[in-house]
């Protein structure tokens, strides 16, 4: 880091530290009157805080709420999660994306069962050592569930701190953690950390922040300088990739042919409808025919039955579904299985969507 920005960071930490008490009181008071009622905030056990924080990574609060509630009904505690079949965990995660999060949750639950007799560890280092848990999540569990004086920094908190300090230089991650360490009170850590996140989520918004409602107005340098709309400067978004695929929808006695997905595939789960990427210059029909030979060892008459659009993280997928109206069953040459459309093996909602659309098309054709 350039010497100049090091000096700026040091000055910021010193200046704000002097106002920590006033800032804490003001923020805690604001939180009491303004926070959202969220399911994980009632009865914040380490297990509930942990699951919610993992779900909230990369996913919005309103999306997480129903998933969290269903998850808690089916897996009310660490033992229930550890002992469940992996496919059941994946099925409850279906639609949330980033499936390694669910896999790590279960691995961690199993480790807690084995190494800590099923009791959630309380030491920061023990929590940090669990699969899928980083500094933020370990800090969130320690502070929110155990009220330990551990700082947390997420996107919302980063934005609040950037504005309060009117930072326009590139900011090292360590600055945010140092600032939070200086600000967290000895008591009420749980509320304080949640209040900082809540402030970023409700008031200190990425654009058009609601400054008049902000409990940190009196210490915010960006506001004082009239720079609250230009700090922090907009970040470049991750580039969306468009992908086309051809998928086979082969039905036999109400069940669908599925094949294993390759490890590291961008589509979540272990199984899916047979599919291939459509490379530029290729026609979907051509690819479907190649796919058919790959899976069945021969070609069969195929017709286009559906077109589905679906997004998985930064992949925007156009899926062309092909079925075979004359299909009466077959023996696939590759490793394959038959599953119902609601079966637990079909984790990705992309495939479920294709099947739903395929059924709609088939029903319309029967009617006419």
Catalytic residue list contains 53? yes
Instruction: Give min distance, CB of 61 to ligand ADE, in A.
Output: 5
Nearer to ligand ADE, 139 or 284 (CB): 139
Instruction: Give min distance, CB of 202 to ligand ADE, in A.
Output: 10
Q: Do 206 and 183 meet the contact criterion of CB atoms below 8 Å apart?
A: no
Nearer to ligand ADE, 61 or 282 (CB): 61
Instruction: Give min distance, CB of 44 to ligand ADE, in A.
Output: 9
Tokens for 220? 């915010």
Helix axes 155-164, 189-202, angle to 10 degrees: 80
Residue with tokens 């090292």, as numbered in its chain = 172
Residue with tokens 């996140």, as numbered in its chain = 197
Which residues contact ligand ADE (rule: CB under 6 A)?
38, 52-53, 56, 61, 154, 194, 197, 201
Nearer to ligand ADE, 92 or 144 (CB): 144
Task: Output the residue with the shortest Cβ distance to ligand ADE.
Answer: 56
CA Rg value for the chain: 25
Catalytic residues: 53
């Amino acid at each position: 880091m350039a010497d100049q920005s090091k000096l700026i960071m040091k000055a910021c930490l010193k200046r704000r530290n002097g106002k920590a008490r006033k800032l804490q009181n003001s923020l805690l008071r604001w939180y009491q009157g303004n926070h959202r009622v969220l399911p994980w905030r009632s009865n914040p056990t380490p297990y509930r805080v942990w699951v919610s924080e993992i779900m909230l990574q990369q996913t919005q609060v309103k999306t997480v709420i129903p998933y969290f509630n269903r998850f808690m009904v089916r897996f009310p505690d660490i033992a229930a999660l550890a002992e469940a079949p992996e496919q059941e965990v994946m099925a409850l995660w279906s639609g949330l994306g980033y499936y390694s999060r669910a896999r790590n949750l279960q691995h961690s639950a199993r480790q807690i069962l084995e190494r800590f007799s099923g009791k959630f560890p309380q030491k920061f280092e023990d929590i940090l050592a669990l699969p899928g848990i980083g500094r933020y999540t370990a800090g969130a569990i320690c502070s929110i569930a155990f009220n330990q004086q551990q700082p947390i920094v997420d996107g919302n908190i980063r934005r609040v701190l950037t504005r309060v300090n009117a930072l326009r230089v590139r900011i090292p991650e360590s600055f945010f953690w140092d600032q939070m360490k200086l600000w967290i009170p000895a008591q009420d850590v749980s509320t304080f950390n949640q209040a900082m996140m809540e402030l970023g989520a409700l008031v200190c918004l990425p654009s058009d922040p609601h400054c008049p409602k902000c409990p940190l107005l009196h210490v915010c340098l960006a506001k004082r300088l009239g720079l609250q709309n230009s700090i922090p400067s907009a970040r470049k978004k991750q580039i969306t990739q468009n992908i086309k695929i051809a998928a086979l929808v082969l039905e036999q006695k109400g069940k669908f042919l599925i094949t294993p997905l390759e490890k590291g595939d961008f589509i979540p789960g272990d199984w899916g409808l047979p599919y291939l990427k459509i490379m530029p210059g290729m026609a979907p029909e051509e690819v479907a025919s190649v796919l058919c030979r790959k899976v069945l060892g021969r070609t069969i008459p195929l017709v286009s039955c559906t077109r589905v659009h679906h997004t998985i993280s930064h992949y925007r997928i156009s899926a062309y579904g092909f079925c075979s109206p004359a299909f009466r069953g077959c023996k696939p040459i590759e490793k394959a299985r038959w599953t119902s459309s609601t079966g637990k093996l079909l984790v990705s909602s992309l495939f479920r969507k294709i099947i739903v659309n395929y059924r709609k098309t088939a029903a319309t054709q029967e009617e006419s």
